[in-house]
Amino acid sequence: MLPPVASLSGGLTVAARRANSRHDAAWKQFFALSVVVEHLLRGFFPEVAALLDLDTLRDVSGEWVQDGTRRRGDSVWRARYRDGSARSLMVFLEFQSTVDAGMARRVLRNVGMAYERARRNGVLDADGRLRPLCIVVHAGVRAWTAPGAAWRVAVSAGGEVASSMSEPYAALDARRLPREHLPARNLVSTLFELNGIGAVGDAAGPLARLGAWLPGLGVHVEPVRAAYAEWLATTMPTLFPGSDAAAMVERFTGADEEESMAVTVLEERLQRQLRRERRDGERRGIEQGVQRGIEQGVQRGIEQGVRRGIEQGVRRGIEQGTRRALAETRVLLASQAARRFGPSAVARVADLLAGIGDAEGLRRAGEWIVDCATAEELVERLEGGQGA
């Protein structure tokens, strides 16, 4: 997520607020699936998940948020305890792209309103209690520094989820969770990885690993696939403005079933992409170079400044365009490998492709995808860097 643009008055511009709203809505839509919330609890709050009968997990957002005050980021889930005690846990989810210093106060207010509505409707637990677990998922660039966050949720011996007025919510700072500590085979972990990538091509690894185990979700596969597609379509253009990120991810995930495996097609597509990126880079470089050249020319002479500015801009534009073309080509090649050899080995292939930094090397990799009889042979060639 790019940093929001501040207005002259110090707040967010209208465009920035709209972008943040779309970002938060995309996360909320992803977490509108019960299987995603289940993965969140099992993977990141296992002690809490162990208390619950997650087969009873259901979305009660419309029932538990105060009339007239519901925000787009609000999401509320309810699950019964598995011990037969008639207790239930209310999971309140908030999705943030920016740091909200007043989050603790807002969480306490929302829980208070939910309690009042539950009391009026007679849906509190049998002992008259509302048991909340409030989770803030932060996906922004800046670290989450708002007060009141609990970074670990404690569970008492009697199975009660601990909370306090001073730390009323648990925080998950998606970009700062170490990748090696993320739960494996977890839908939320994959989302956190995608949210933290540095280039379009870096999406290949997380998506390949997801593809290897996603079919095991059975009836949840299609809704999950659709949720990822919507999240990517909304978030990727914000993470990488001007790139063809959504289309590249769509091709990688196999939406284009008629795409040829022929090496000639790969070569032609690579060359077309490189030429297009060079042209775009030259154009952007000239525009930037002229502007910078004019500014420098005030001091050193307009003619000399424009010339040097154009030369530097063209060179930088071509370099940026080439890097982007190589990244998107890696995604395409990983897609071809997935279709040829299946999803089980494609994560390793994607990692190896990430180490190839030139168009000629990627062209050879495209030939090997067609020539190799097995995924093991392809991995061996990529590791050795030779086609013999």
**Least confident span in 93-97, 214-218, 352-356:** 352-356
Length of the chain: 388
The whole-angstrom separation of Cα 33 and Cα 11 is 33
147 has a pLDDT exceeding 90: yes
**pLDDT for the residue 249:** 53
The three-class DSSP label of residue 90 is strand
Supply φ then ψ for residue 63, to 5 degrees. Answer: -90, -25
The three-class DSSP label of residue 96 is strand
Q: What does pTM read for this prediction?
A: 0.64
**pLDDT for the residue 226:** 86
25 has a pLDDT exceeding 80: no
Give the model confidence (pLDDT) of 207-233 as tens digits.
889 989 999 999 999 999 888 888 888
Q: Which amino acid is at 245?
A: A
**pLDDT for the residue 157:** 87
130 has a pLDDT exceeding 70: yes
Tokens describing residue 182: 């993320």
Gyration radius of the chain's alpha carbons: 25
Whole-number average pLDDT of the chain: 79
Q: Residue 6 — very low, low, confident or very high, per pLDDT cuts 50/70/90?
A: very low
Tokens describing residue 386: 């030779």
Closest CA to 371 of 266, 272, 270: 266
Q: Residue 300 — very low, low, confident or very high, per pLDDT cuts 50/70/90?
A: low
The whole-angstrom separation of Cα 47 and Cα 319 is 49
- Tokens 């809490």 appear where? 48
42 has a pLDDT exceeding 90: yes
**pLDDT for the residue 312:** 74
Closest CA to 1 of 205, 331, 234: 234
Q: Residue 72 — very low, low, confident or very high, per pLDDT cuts 50/70/90?
A: very low
Q: Residue 131 — very low, low, confident or very high, per pLDDT cuts 50/70/90?
A: very high
DSSP classification of residue 136: E
- Tokens 């209310």 appear where? 90
Mean pLDDT of 242-253: 56
**pLDDT for the residue 1:** 33
Counts for the chain of helices (H) and strands (E), in that order: 14, 6
Closest CA to 306 of 318, 296, 315: 296
What Cα–Cα distance (Å) separates residue 77 from each residue in 38, 53, 183? 10, 13, 22
71 has a pLDDT exceeding 70: no
Tokens describing residue 241: 């403005």
Mean pLDDT of 372-382: 88
